[in-house]
Amino acid sequence: MPTSPEAPAPAASSDLAEIVAEESKRHRRRRIFAWLGALIAVAGIIAAVILLRPKPTPVPERFRTAPLTRGAVIRQVTPTGRLEARVTVEVGAQVSGRIKTIEVDYNDHVEEGQVLARIDPDTMEAQVDQQSASRRVAVTSLQQAKIELADAERRLTRIEALFAKGYETQENLDNARSSVELARARVSSSGAQVSLQRAGERLAKTNLDYTTIRSPIDGVVISRNVSEGQTVAAAFQTPVLFLLAEDLKQMRLMAAIDEADIGQVDAGQHATFTVDAYPGETFFAHITEIRRAPVIAQNVVTYEAVLDVDNPELKLRPGMTASVRIDTAEVDDALRAPNAALRFTPPVDAGGDAAGVAGNAGPAVWILEGDQPKRLPVDAGISDGRLTAVSGVNLAADLQVLIGLTPEGRVAYGIGGEEK
């Protein structure tokens, strides 16, 4: 019998089913592997974020600290001032004329009464001669008036005697008496004229003496403002010819004290100062006077303090500018806190006592107790501008106090900008 051509159909159907099933398995495996890959990638990203995320800054690293120290605290006032001689004398000319000679120069040491300069005396000598002649004329007039008075008195005596005997009239007697009174008046006037001419002669001689300029003190010539041949006019204002300073081994320092500091400054306090001419050297002074008159410049009020300065080596010179430090108070052995510690208050976010800072009054310092800031009240004493003397419970040398935030601390507490 012939074989039917449809006999292999069951075997082909079985192979196709196996192929479809195998392909389905591979497709499921690919999907599982894709999901697993995605889960692994997400887990890796999460792990990387967790591992790479910055860790919170430890609390101790958020604050800057400084130790309390023990030592001296000196409160100082630091004004500026100028040096000058204790006694300065302006020597001028009291008469006008041409300078004939100059006897001294800059920096010369002079003694009291020493000749400094001479004014041409010709004019003054002529005035002396003129006044002397006028005085002699007045003396002669006085003598003449006295003679006339004596003659009038004798004539009056004779007329009175004759009038008593009836030989003279009343009119002649009255005329004789009037002549005596007039003669006496002329004597008085002539005497006054003599006194006037003598005064004029003394004035002329005094002016002649003034043509010689002399030193009124022992000192040093600081400046000379004239030269030989120069004409000075003293009619309206005395011209200053020389400036003399007394012994420059003893000087004074005029310091301008600000009105905010004047309450701390008093006579007797010691001071040190420096000048630009000797930057590596310190000079000493002490206050002798605080002047009450205010000095106002551009709405700034200052008061002058006078300090005595010894200058044995003559290094210091009048007019030098001095940077002064006046010791107004001192504590030899004190517990000292940085001024920054007294100004600093931790942020409220720092926790601890900082949260109640609004209710705390008075000066205090802050320390870290564990990871929390703690406030320690203090009694503040004098300050030198950098350190302040403090006292209080639980305070000791080397105790670390908070003075500010580190950059990391400012970031941690969300404070922008730079800390001053």
Give per-residue pLDDT as tens, 229-252: 998 888 777 888 999 998 889 999
Which H or E run contains 151? helix 122-165
The pair phi, psi for residue 240, each rounded to 5°, is: -85, 115
Provide the pLDDT for residue 1: 42
Secondary structure of residue 360 in the 3-state scheme: coil
Provide the pLDDT for residue 3: 45
Residues (pLDDT < 50) of the chain are: 1-7, 420
**CATH number for region 62-76+334-412:** 2.40.420.20
Tokens read off for 317: 């010179």
Sign of CA dihedral 320, 326, 332, 334: negative
What is d(CA 112, CA 416) in angstroms, rounded to the nearest whole number? 73
Secondary structure of residue 389 in the 3-state scheme: strand
Which H or E run contains 67? strand 63-67
Provide the pLDDT for residue 13: 64
pTM for this entry: 0.62
Report yes or no: 305 and 290 within 8 Å, Cβ to Cβ.
yes
Q: Domain map of the chain by residue range?
A: 62-76+334-412, 80-84+250-329, 89-117+215-246, 121-210
Provide the pLDDT for residue 35: 79
The residue count of the chain comes to 420
Find, among 286, 373, 378, the residue nearest to 325 by Cα: 286
Give per-residue pLDDT as tens, 298-339: 999 999 999 999 999 999 999 999 999 999 988 989 999 999
| CATH C-level class of 80-84+250-329 | mainly beta
Longest dimension (CA), the chain: 236
The answer as to CATH 2.40.50.100 being correct for domain 89-117+215-246 is yes
Which H or E run contains 189? helix 170-210
Half-sphere exposure of 350 (CA within 13 A, CB side): 31
Provide the pLDDT for residue 351: 67
